[in-house]
Amino acid sequence: MTTQPPPYGGGPHPYGPPPPPPGAAPGFGPPPPPSAFAAQPPQQALEGPEFMAVDRHNSIVVDSAGVAFEDHGHSAEFPWHEIRSVHYKAGPNGKTLMMAVIHLDGRFYECVVDARSRDTLGRWFAELAAILGYYKPLA
């Protein structure tokens, strides 16, 4: 005599999870072993120069991870391996840093940060030249 498989929906699936033990609430099981929640060692950040320009609404950060923009509460992060190039210039008023990140696929993203003075903007430009040369020497 040949055994027929149960009709669709008729019994436990042979490859599904085992049924819960008697008296256990469905969908809940024993707690995971403590090793599942063991603290992972912190990732060692690569050492290197950092740049940060911040105003009331926006910020630009350049560090070992890449470039990060924040624009009125919206943020975007660009790791170095996804960046084709980074460009920056002064805004029309002479006190604004305008930066663009060109993605490998050609898309570009911009962020604008107001400096307190033209001297601050000059310092930012000097820092950016050195830091971008460090991380993207061919950019």
pLDDT at 131 over 60: yes
pLDDT in tens, 4-32: 554 544 455 445 455 555 655 555 555 55
Q: Could you give the CA distance from residue 131 to residue 129 in angstroms, rounded to a whole number?
A: 6
Give me the pLDDT at residue 137, please: 73
pLDDT at 45 over 90: no
Q: Which residue type occupies 122? A: G
What is residue 124's three-state secondary structure? helix
pLDDT in tens, 110-120: 999 999 999 99
What is the pTM assigned to this prediction? 0.66
Residue of 28, 60, 47, 77 whose CA lies nearest to 124? 60
Q: Each residue of 48-72: b (16+ CB within 10 Å) or e? A: eeebebeeeebbbbbbebbbbbbbe
pLDDT at 102 over 70: yes
Average per-residue pLDDT for the chain: 80
Cβ contacts of 102 within 8 Å, gap of 6 or more: 83, 84, 85, 86, 87, 108
Give the Cβ contact number of residue 90 at 10 Å: 16
pLDDT at 43 over 70: no
* Sheet of 96-103, strand order: 83-90, 96-103, 108-114
Give the Cβ contact number of residue 96 at 10 Å: 15
Give me the pLDDT at residue 122, please: 96
pLDDT at 85 over 90: yes
